[in-house]
Amino acid sequence: MINMAKPQIGDDEKQAVLEVLDSGIIAQGPRVKAFEEAFAQMCGTKYAIATTSGTTALHLAMLAHGIGNGDEVITSAFTFIASANSILFVGAKPVFVDIDPRTFNLDVSKIEKAISKNTKAILPVHLYGLSCDMTEIMKIAEKHGLAVIEDACQSHGAEYNGRKVGSFGTGTFSLYPTKNITSGEGGMITTNDPVVDEKCRVLRQHGMRKRYYHDELGYNFRMTDIHAAIGLAQLKKLEKFNAQRQSNAKFMSSNLKGVTPPFIPEGLSHVFHQYTVRVPAGKRDALRTYLNEKGIGSEVYYPVPIHQQTFYVNDLGYKDSLPETEKATLEVLSLPVHPALSSSDLEMIVSTVNEFMEKN
């Protein structure tokens, strides 16, 4: 079976974990600090704050920007549920804007119409490894005095006009095993704002500035040194992993027939967390079944847009109409693109897709 993801854990990661276990400092310690510094450097930000997951990174970013009850945050419904749930965690309301059908990211021409007097932030999701239109988003945010919290959970190292995602607003990253790099479970927040940095650090540790004095309600979102040691070893390989993903994607885009390959706007570097094609309506699920029979994994990210998820409809009363988002859920199919694919794997994926598309 050619799987959708394969974490690349080598001797570096194993050795790093053993060193932590032998050191006696297992919880948040010097490895977390070193990982944060290296991550900030990769991203080109002043600060990075490690957390337990991408979800808690998003949650903490919301809190650090003071987003709460009655506030609205503009985001996409074509993403993993955590993007929007993090807005709910703090009592605020996700306001969904439709996507650009070419990039699957927020359609920036529709953002301003969604702004109300309660809007506090824009949460662009850099889906599949491709940056949103950050020039336009930063312009709108500045004009209306809004915070920008980037969901870069799928876009470690992706660039927009030579600048890394996560360095425009407050960035949030996931280090889950299927992501471009992993720490087991884990997350990272990136920022240039010392106030956001301090707020994240305090709230990550039960609102504690002085030991056992709690100024405000906080959480335990601390990363362990064990996870940080894995993350640090992985971070060193991020560029290599991303280059391999890009090369795999390039091969597929040059050879696939009958499906629409990913679009890369001028000036952007796509890091292909997912390689996602559009399949003409009605053929997608049959193609998926065919690939599965031939031993090739594939996945639909995402089959149900967030505004149509059961509890968003039943408990929260969402009844938005987002035509491009809804159309995308019926047409997208992600194919394996991870760095461990061999050239024969890639040839097999391409020939199997082409075979099906020719016959159907």
Q: Interface residues with ligand PLP (CB under 6 A)?
A: 53-55, 79-80, 82-83, 125, 151, 153-154, 174, 176, 187
Which residue, 83 or 191, has its beta carbon nearer to ligand PLP?
A: 83
Judge contact between 74 and 122, C-beta under 8 A: yes
CB of 222 to ligand PLP, least distance (A): 15
CB of 162 to ligand PLP, least distance (A): 23
Burial (Cβ within 10 Å: 0-12, 13-18, ≥19) of residue 304: middle
Which residue, 60 or 279, has its beta carbon nearer to ligand PLP?
A: 60
Q: What is the dihedral of CA 203, 207, 211, 214, to 10 degrees?
A: 180
The CA distance from 82 to 150, in Å, is 13
Tokens of residue 159, six digits: 């660039």
Which residue, 47 or 301, has its beta carbon nearer to ligand PLP?
A: 301
Judge contact between 76 and 128, C-beta under 8 A: no
The CA distance from 185 to 228, in Å, is 10
CB of 57 to ligand PLP, least distance (A): 8
Residue type, 111: I
Closest residue to ligand PLP, judged by C-beta, is 54
Judge contact between 304 and 290, C-beta under 8 A: no
Which residue, 227 or 284, has its beta carbon nearer to ligand PLP?
A: 227
CB of 158 to ligand PLP, least distance (A): 12
Which residue, 87 or 108, has its beta carbon nearer to ligand PLP?
A: 87
What is the CA angle 196-197-200, rounded to 5? 80
**Region class of 160: left (phi > 0), else alpha (psi between -120 and 50), else beta:** beta
Q: Which of 20, 14, 55 is nearest to 34 (CA)?
A: 20
Which residue, 39 or 80, has its beta carbon nearer to ligand PLP?
A: 80
Q: Which of 4, 33, 10 is nearest to 236 (CA)?
A: 10
Which residue, 89 or 251, has its beta carbon nearer to ligand PLP?
A: 89
Residue type, 91: G
CB of 129 to ligand PLP, least distance (A): 10
CB of 105 to ligand PLP, least distance (A): 11
CB of 124 to ligand PLP, least distance (A): 11
